[in-house]
Amino acid sequence: MDLDALRKIGYGMYVIGARKGEQLNAQIANTVFQITSEPATVAVSINKKNLTNEYIKASRVFSASILHEATPLLYIGNFGFRSGRDTDKLKGVNYKIGVTKSPIFLDHATAYLEAEVIQDIDVGTHTIFIGRIVATEVLNDEACMTYDYYHQVKKGTTPKTAPSYIPGDKGGN
Amino acid sequence: MDLDALRKIGYGMYVIGARKGEQLNAQIANTVFQITSEPATVAVSINKKNLTNEYIKASRVFSASILHEATPLLYIGNFGFRSGRDTDKLKGVNYKIGVTKSPIFLDHATAYLEAEVIQDIDVGTHTIFIGRIVATEVLNDEACMTYDYYHQVKKGTTPKTAPSYIPGDKGGN
């Protein structure tokens, strides 16, 4: 079966901020989407192997900083291609602590949201966390980075732990 | 709370094809996304009030035709701003029947996929259907329509039944 069709699905690019007590972590995700409008809820799909998954399960909160188009590839790589188990991803990166006490990343964001998890759904390799929005802010009018732009223009790659990994993609773990 | 930040979330635009026995229907959705890569699964969020929801629950299959950027607003309006309960949305529209016997809409698609539902999740006003991909095809290299392009360039609107409706949006039901 030709899975190239899955590359046509549209996404944005996000830094997901998470905590477990006072410990903070973050990772890149592209599968953030609104679920209902009343109340306003969003979902994010996170690999069970990822530290962020463990942190969200522990604290029941997360943030999503929505990246703009001009975000440098190195900034994404810092969050996306290594594990918070091996390194402090937040070292040298600007962030603020939100109302959920999750870290929020402002350097290349056009907006952010914070959510409290109301449901988590086991979907095999990943967990879908559904969160009720508790805070949001629009930061500027910059164009949002699309996942397609990240691949086509920025020449970014996808790690194997991403929901949208397709066999044959280059990319780290 | 300023929900404008939710407008920054990135999506594509899709025609979701559904059936109940031999009865066919379709609707527009923007919340389609890949959930896992092994096996390849996708999710779609559909309002419980929609006929498409009833049909997917009955047949346990759906298709998603991924719209390209040049899709006319009228084509989207045909599927998106009226109910299959009142009108035959497929009348006068080209489609083919896929391996799941769901209708697939080729006129303005760049690719399509078909899925068998393996899980459906009640999230209040909407159901998230998670489907295992059983067929896909890339049709051409046209740029995909993003939800942002639909709003900004095509001046499209969002019905109140959409997951991504934000109070204050214009748009039908």
Taking 60 as the threshold, does the pLDDT of residue A171 lie above it? Answer: no
Taking 70 as the threshold, does the pLDDT of residue A172 lie above it? Answer: no
Nearest to B113 among A5, A66, A167 (CB): A5
Query: Which residues does chain A have within 8 Å of residue B9's beta carbon, measured at their own beta carbons?
Result: 12, 32-34, 42, 66
pTM: 0.89
State the amino acid at position B153 in one-letter form: V
The stretches of B1-107 forming alpha helices (DSSP H) are 51-59, 73-80
Q: How far is B73 from chain A (nearest CA, A)?
A: 18
For residues A172 and B41, the model is more confident at B41
Answer whether B140 touches A (CB < 8 Å). Answer: no
pLDDT reported for residue B171: 41
Query: Which residues does chain B have within 8 Å of residue A40's beta carbon, measured at their own beta carbons?
Result: 1, 3, 6
> If DSSP codes are grouped into helix, strand and coil, which group holds residue B93?
coil
Query: Which residues does chain B have within 8 Å of residue A43's beta carbon, measured at their own beta carbons?
Result: 128
Query: Which residues does chain A have within 8 Å of residue B148's beta carbon, measured at their own beta carbons?
Result: 144
pLDDT reported for residue A105: 97
Answer whether A158 touches B (CB < 8 Å). Answer: no
pLDDT reported for residue B168: 63
Contact (Cβ atoms closer than 8 angstroms) between residue B172 and residue B157: yes
The stretches of B22-72 forming alpha helices (DSSP H) are 51-59
Q: How far is B7 from chain A (nearest CA, A)?
A: 9
Q: How far is A86 from chain B (nearest CA, A)?
A: 24
CA A15 from chain center: how many Å? 4
Tell me how far apart the alpha carbons of residues A169 and B17 are, in angstroms, rounded to a whole number. Answer: 29
Query: Which residues does chain B have within 8 Å of residue A13's beta carbon, measured at their own beta carbons?
Result: 10
Taking 90 as the threshold, does the pLDDT of residue A169 lie above it? Answer: no
Return the closest-CA partner of residue A27 out of A59, A54, A5.
A54
Tell me how far apart the alpha carbons of residues B160 and B50 are, in angstroms, rounded to a whole number. Answer: 12
Q: Which helix (H) or strand (E) holds A82?
A: none
Taking 90 as the threshold, does the pLDDT of residue A122 lie above it? Answer: yes
Return the closest-CA partner of residue A115 out of A101, A127, A94.
A101
Answer whether B66 touches A (CB < 8 Å). Answer: yes
Cis bond upstream, residue A72 (ω within 30):
no
Mean pLDDT across the stretch A125-141? 95
The stretches of B3-154 forming alpha helices (DSSP H) are 51-59, 73-80, 147-152
Mean pLDDT across the stretch A98-106? 97
Answer whether A44 touches B (CB < 8 Å). Answer: no
Would you call A60 exposed, middle or buried from its count of C-beta atoms within 10 A (0-12, 13-18, 19+)? Answer: middle
pLDDT reported for residue A13: 94
Sheet containing A40-47: give its strands across.
Answer: A23-29, A14-20, A61-67, A109-123, A126-138, A40-47, A32-37
pLDDT digits (tens, 9 = 90+) for B111-123: 999 999 999 999 9
Tell me how far apart the alpha carbons of residues A119 and A60 are, in angstroms, rounded to a whole number. Answer: 9
ipTM of this complex prediction, to 2 decimal places: 0.85
The token duo for A110 is 């056009």
Query: Which residues does chain B have within 8 Å of residue A38's beta carbon, measured at their own beta carbons?
Result: 124-125
The mean pLDDT of chain A is: 90
Span between the terminal Cα atoms of chain A, in Å: 24
Question: Which single residue is written with the structure tokens 């009720």?
Answer: A132
Answer whether A15 touches B (CB < 8 Å). Answer: no
Q: Is residue A155 left, alpha or beta, with left meaning phi > 0 and alpha meaning psi from -120 to 50?
A: left
Are the Cβ atoms of A8 and B34 closer than 8 angstroms?
A: no
> If DSSP codes are grouped into helix, strand and coil, which group holds residue B8?
helix
Q: What parts of chain B have a pLDDT lower than 50? A: 170-173
Query: Which residues does chain A have within 8 Å of residue B36's beta carbon, measured at their own beta carbons?
Result: 123-126, 163
Query: Which residues does chain B have within 8 Å of residue A113's beta carbon, measured at their own beta carbons?
Result: 5-6
Return the closest-CA partner of residue A158 out of A140, A137, A146, A173.
A173
Are the Cβ atoms of A37 and B165 closer than 8 angstroms?
A: yes
Find the residue in A nearest to B163 (Cα): A36
The lowest-confidence range among A102-116, A138-152, B88-102, B124-138 is A138-152
CA B57 from chain center: how many Å? 15
Tell me how far apart the alpha carbons of residues B114 and B172 are, in angstroms, rounded to a whole number. Answer: 28
Q: B interface mutation test: which of A2, A4, A6, A139 has the most B CBs within 10 A?
A: A6
Are the Cβ atoms of B136 and A2 closer than 8 angstroms?
A: yes
State the amino acid at position A149 in one-letter form: Y
